[in-house]
């Protein structure tokens, strides 16, 4: 039996690519293409088992709650999630009327990006310094990227677990924010450049040495195997899953 899939944000860069990937995937059937202005109801979802959301950070949480209310499993690639918004989804999924629904939210579905996050967290405890540089197309609406935030948080957690203190940094004056955003103590720098798609570099430093871990998504095709895997797996999971790494044997 095939899995019926609705795509929310279907007219966008990712949504349109996901529609094609679903149509090309064995055992998946595209039953609805929804975009801004469409309601998310049983009728518009057109019998979907799973809805995939690639929309906008300002609307994705509301979409997920509406999709759970409509009784479908949800796969989310949209960024902008916080501990608080994750918690609200978790609580929603625990309500009796949401029984049987599950949600996967991943800041990045590309294997190279998922491995970059994993390798960076593994390496972090061995280095005094760690910074994240993300580089994206100039149409991206949010900065830093969801992937960079997740990477920085993974590095920070590993450093804390290893008992490392703050990264060394003698900066005394930085009126214009040249040192970038600071996510859990890790500096994150965002580049927006015509010609790029989605890229990230993690730089880790010790006296006399540097480790660079880099991921490059040259094409949105890079995200599709991860999205299709999540669509296939979401029905077998319970509650909220955060990150594609949870579906891989890393
Ligand atoms: N997790 C991952 O692997 C990836 C995540 N992303 C994220 O996906 C999101 C979308 O990125 P793009 O496709 O590049 O953006 P986009 O701007 O090309 O597409 C977004 C689409 O969502 C639609 N939309 C906006 N509000 C809506 C609403 N309330 N209901 C339904 N549709 C609505 C827009 O009309 C548009 O068609 C961003 O947050 C981006 O960071 C992007 C690439 C990979
Ligand atoms: O907007 C994008 O393009 C991307 N967004 C995600 C993010 O913010 O991490 C994933 C990937 O970097 C592409």
Q: Which of 3, 71, 59 is nearest to 35 (CA)?
A: 59
Is the distance from the beta carbon of residue 55 to the nearest atom of ligand 1 less than 6 Å?
Answer: yes
Q: Is 120 in contact with 134 (CB distance < 8 Å)?
A: no
What does the alpha-carbon distance between residue 240 and residue 64 come to, in Å, rounded to a whole number? 11
Q: Is 217 left (phi over 0), alpha (psi -120 to 50) or beta?
A: beta
Q: Which helix (H) or strand (E) holds 75?
A: strand 73-76
What does the alpha-carbon distance between residue 172 and residue 247 come to, in Å, rounded to a whole number? 43
Query: Considering just the CA atoms, what is the radius of gyration of the chain in Å?
Result: 19
**Ligand at shortest distance from the CA of 222:** 1
Query: What is the whole-number distance in angstroms between the Cα of residue 187 and the centre of ligand 2?
Result: 18
User: Cβ atoms within 10 A of the Cβ of 117, count?
Assistant: 28
Query: What is the whole-number distance in angstroms between the Cα of residue 125 and the centre of ligand 2?
Result: 26
Is 3-105+221-247's fold the same as 111-218's? no
What does the alpha-carbon distance between residue 144 and residue 142 come to, in Å, rounded to a whole number? 6
On whether 226 is known to bind a ligand per the annotation, the reply is no
On whether 10 is known to bind a ligand per the annotation, the reply is yes
Question: Is the pTM above the cut of 0.90?
Answer: yes
* Residue 122, pLDDT score: 98
ipTM above 0.85, yes or no: yes
* Residue 250, pLDDT score: 87
Q: Which residues pair with 76 in a beta bridge?
A: 53, 105
Residues in the ligand 2 pocket, defined by CB under 6 Å: 79, 107-108, 136, 140, 145-147, 198
* Residue 232, pLDDT score: 98
Is the distance from the beta carbon of residue 79 to the nearest atom of ligand 1 less than 6 Å?
Answer: yes
Look up residue 90 and give its two tokens.
């978790």
Closest ligand 1 atom to residue 17 Cα is: 13
* Residue 139, pLDDT score: 98
* Residue 241, pLDDT score: 98
Q: Which residues pair with 135 in a beta bridge?
A: 191, 199
> What's phi and psi for 201, nearest 5 deg?
-125, 130
Annotated domain spans of the chain: 3-105+221-247, 111-218
* Residue 169, pLDDT score: 98
On whether 117 is known to bind a ligand per the annotation, the reply is no
CA 148, distance to chain mean position in Å, is 10
Look up residue 150 and give its two tokens.
């997740």
What CATH number matches the domain at 111-218, 3.30.360.10, 1.10.3720.10, 3.40.47.10, 3.40.640.10?
A: 3.30.360.10
* Residue 34, pLDDT score: 98
Peptide bond into 144 cis (omega under 30): yes
Look at domain 3-105+221-247 and name its CATH class.
alpha beta
Task: Name residues whose C-beta falls within 8 Å of residue 172's C-beta, 6 or more positions apart in sequence.
Answer: none
Walking along the chain (250 residues) 10 residues at a time, the average pLDDT comes out as: 97 98 98 98 97 98 98 98 98 97 98 98 98 98 98 98 98 98 98 98 98 98 98 98 95
């Amino acid at each position: 039996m095939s899995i019926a899939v609705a795509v929310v944000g279907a007219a966008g860069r990712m949504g349109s690519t996901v529609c094609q990937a679903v149509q090309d995937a064995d055992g998946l059937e595209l039953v609805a293409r929804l975009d801004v202005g469409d309601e998310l109801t049983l009728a518009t979802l057109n019998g979907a088992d799973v809805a995939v959301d690639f929309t906008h950070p300002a609307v994705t949480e509301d979409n997920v709650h509406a999709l759970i209310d409509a009784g479908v499993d949800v796969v989310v690639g949209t960024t902008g999630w916080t501990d608080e918004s994750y918690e609200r989804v978790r609580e929603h999924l625990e309500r009796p009327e949401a029984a049987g629904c599950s949600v996967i939210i991943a800041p990045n579905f590309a294997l190279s990006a998922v491995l970059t996050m994993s390798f960076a967290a593994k390496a972090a405890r061995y280095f005094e310094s760690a910074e994240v540089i993300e580089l994206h197309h100039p149409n991206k609406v949010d900065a830093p990227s969801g992937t960079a935030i997740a990477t920085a948080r993974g590095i920070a957690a590993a450093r804390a677990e290893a008992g490392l203190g703050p990264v060394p940094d003698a900066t005394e004056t930085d009126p214009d924010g040249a040192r970038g955003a600071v996510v859990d103590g890790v500096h994150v720098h965002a580049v927006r450049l015509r010609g790029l798609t989605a890229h990230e570099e993690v730089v880790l430093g010790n006296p006399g040495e540097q480790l660079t871990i880099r991921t490059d998504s040259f094409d949105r095709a890079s995200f599709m195997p991860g999205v299709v895997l999540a669509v296939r797996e979401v029905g077998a999971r319970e509650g909220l899953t955060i990150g594609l790494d949870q579906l891989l044997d890393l």
